[in-house]
């Protein structure tokens, strides 16, 4: 009801603004990087499984999820391979459960789910277990869910109840959990120096404050949303860690505004989607650090030559300036490895405010459900 919404118009907006609190709660009590953070919850009074033992044994990760949770998994792949140096595969749960794959018992199967009740993700987990992969861990927002019961190890995110169908705070808390998982595996395997551990912990503790200053960009995003509300298509570009964030930005826009949106790895622009660029196709570029920007500049000319308009979320330390057909919102800081958590926030706000401008049912988009518990 209205009382719960406080100053916000919709749950989606409230949940976007709750992210500093949600991340703070999710990371509360994390004094150091220890595998025990992921220990089994010990259903029915049993002692939970030991994450330390599991992390020592595994040499591969298989992430299974759907929707927004799948994109948090795609982001984590970059962390797991670059920081923990562990080979990681991310699969859409509904694809994995029905295809022939090559199982490896030394795999840690990681499911990611806000609800813990998504039918495809639960079925994919069962499928992996039936193939002999018994080391299972879930990153989940509901401690009492089927997913938590079915997995050996668990990390419960503390987003709190998420009501908006389009997931926002659940996504960023999943990322926080997955970053911790990366560090815990790296540490168990002796791949995390004390200096790096201390630096990452410091960066994580800074997240609530950093998120707060990104949320303060809302008025600038509303300016962008006014343009987007009049379009039928949009393209999102990202690179590396921010490619999944571009995918999530496009998904958010589709879900709540019904604008057709696609995301591409920035380097793929010239291999097809450039053909779509006209003055009616806004192009959002996510987190271009200077190296990406250099590459984007030539694309930029091509986009401009076709009348296309660019909306760039630039890192705090980039030198790009706005001009005709080039809109820039500068992020307050440069965030390093945690950058995806910060860059997704303006995209959530863009989808939200574009939806408001178009008058859609933001919290309950047509044809979608909060949790898909049937196939």
| Radius of gyration over every alpha carbon of the chain, rounded to an integer in angstroms | 20
259/231 Cα distance (integer angstroms)? 7
Nearest distance from residue 96's CB to ligand G6P, in Å? 14
* Spatial separation of the C-alpha atoms in residues 234 and 229, rounded to whole Å: 11
Using an 8 Å Cβ cutoff, are 81 and 31 in contact?
Answer: no
CA–CA distance, 169 with 263 (Å, rounded to integer): 21
Q: Which stretch binds ligand G6P (CB under 6 A): 8-16, 52-60, 165-173, 223-231?
A: 165-173
Secondary element (H or E) of residue 248: helix 243-257
CB contact at 8 A, 331 and 216: no
**371 is a contact residue toward ligand G6P (CB under 6 A):** yes
Look at residues 2, 8, 144, 157 and name the one whose alpha carbon lies nearest to residue 68: 157
224: number of Cβ within 10 Å? 20
The verdict on 74 binding ligand G6P (CB under 6 A) reads no
Whole-angstrom distance, CA of residue 341 vs CA of residue 280: 29
Residue 372, token pair as written in the block:
């898909």
- Residue 101 as a binder of ligand G6P (CB under 6 A): the answer is no
Q: Which two tokens stand for residue 218?
A: 């809302």
Site string for ligand G6P, 117-136 (x = CB under 6 A): -x--x---------------
Does position 167 interact with ligand G6P (CB under 6 A)? The reply is yes
Contact 177, 139 (CB under 8 A): yes
Residues 339, 210 contacting (CB under 8 angstroms)? no
Residue 140 CB, nearest approach to ligand G6P (Å): 8
Among the listed ranges 15-23, 39-47, 110-118, 335-343, the one in contact with ligand G6P (CB under 6 A) is: 110-118
Q: Which stretch binds ligand G6P (CB under 6 A): 123-131, 259-267, 273-281, 363-371?
A: 363-371
Q: How far is the CB of 320 from ligand G6P (least distance, A)?
A: 32
Extended beta strands in 42-149, E state: 60-65, 87-92, 107-113, 136-140
Judged by CB under 6 A, the chain residues 2 through 41 that form the site for ligand G6P are none
Residue 331 CA to residue 130 CA, distance in Å, equals: 46
Q: Decide if residue 114 touches ligand G6P (CB under 6 A).
A: yes
Residue (of 69, 138, 134) closest to 107 by Cα position: 134
Position 165 contacts ligand G6P (CB under 6 A): yes
Q: How far is the CB of 165 from ligand G6P (least distance, A)?
A: 5
CB of 87 to ligand G6P, least distance (A): 24
- By CB under 6 A, the residues from 222 to 281 that bind ligand G6P are none
Total residues contacting ligand G6P (rule CB under 6 A)? 16
Shortest spacing between CB 118 and ligand G6P, in angstroms: 3
26, 68, 348, 354: residue in contact with ligand G6P (rule CB under 6 A): 68
Q: Does 372 bind ligand G6P (CB under 6 A)?
A: yes
List the catalytic residue out of 60, 189, 364, 370.
370
Nearest approach in angstroms of CB 205 to ligand G6P is 26
Active site residue 370: yes
Which of 149, 189, 295, 370 is in the footprint of ligand G6P by CB under 6 A?
A: 370
**Token pair for 199:** 């630096």
- Length of the chain as a residue count: 375
Asked if 129 contacts 334 with a C-beta cutoff of 8 angstroms, the reply is: no
Instruction: Kindly state whether residue 115 participates in binding ligand G6P, applying the rule CB under 6 A.
Output: yes
Where along the sequence are the contacts to ligand G6P (CB under 6 A)?
A: 66-69, 113-115, 118, 121, 165-167, 368, 370-372
**Which residues are annotated as catalytic?**
370
């Amino acid at each position: 009801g209205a009382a719960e919404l406080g100053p916000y118009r919709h749950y989606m907006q409230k949940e976007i603004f709750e992210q500093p609190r949600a991340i703070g709660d999710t990371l509360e009590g994390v004094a150091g990087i220890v595998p025990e953070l992921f220990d089994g919850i010990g259903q029915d009074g049993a002692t939970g499984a030991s994450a330390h033992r599991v992390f020592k044994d595994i040499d591969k990760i298989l992430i299974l999820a759907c929707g927004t949770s799948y994109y948090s998994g795609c982001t984590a792949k970059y962390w797991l391979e670059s920081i923990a140096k562990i080979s990681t595969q991310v699969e859409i749960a509904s694809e994995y459960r029905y295809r022939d794959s090559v199982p490896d018992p030394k795999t840690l199967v990681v499911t990611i789910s806000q609800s813990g009740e998504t039918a495809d993700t639960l079925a994919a987990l069962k499928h992996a277990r039936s193939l002999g992969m018994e080391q299972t861990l879930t990153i989940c927002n509901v401690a009492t869910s089927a997913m938590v019961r079915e997995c050996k190890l668990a990390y419960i995110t503390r987003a709190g109840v998420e009501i908006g169908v389009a997931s926002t705070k659940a996504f960023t808390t999943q990322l926080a959990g997955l970053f911790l998982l990366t560090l815990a595996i790296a540490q168990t395997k002796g791949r995390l120096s004390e200096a790096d551990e201390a630096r990452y912990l410091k960066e994580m503790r800074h997240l609530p404050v950093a998120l707060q200053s990104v949320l303060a960009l809302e008025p600038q995003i509303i300016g962008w949303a006014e343009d987007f509300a009049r379009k039928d298509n949009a393209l999102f570009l990202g690179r590396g860690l921010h490619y999944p964030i571009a995918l999530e930005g496009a998904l958010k826009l589709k879900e709540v505004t019904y604008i057709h949106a696609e995301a591409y790895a920035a380097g793929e622009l010239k291999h097809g989607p450039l053909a779509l660029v006209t003055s009616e196709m806004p192009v959002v570029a996510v987190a271009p650090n200077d190296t990406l920007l250099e590459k984007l500049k030539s694309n930029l000319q091509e986009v401009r030559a076709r009348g296309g308009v660019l909306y760039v979320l630039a890192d705090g330390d980039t030198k790009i300036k706005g001009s005709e057909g080039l809109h820039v919102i500068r992020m307050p800081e440069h965030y390093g490895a945690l950058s995806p958590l910060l860059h997704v926030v303006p995209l959530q706000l863009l989808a939200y405010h574009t939806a408001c401008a178009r008058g859609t049912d933001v919290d309950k988009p047509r044809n979608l459900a909060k949790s898909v518990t049937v196939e």
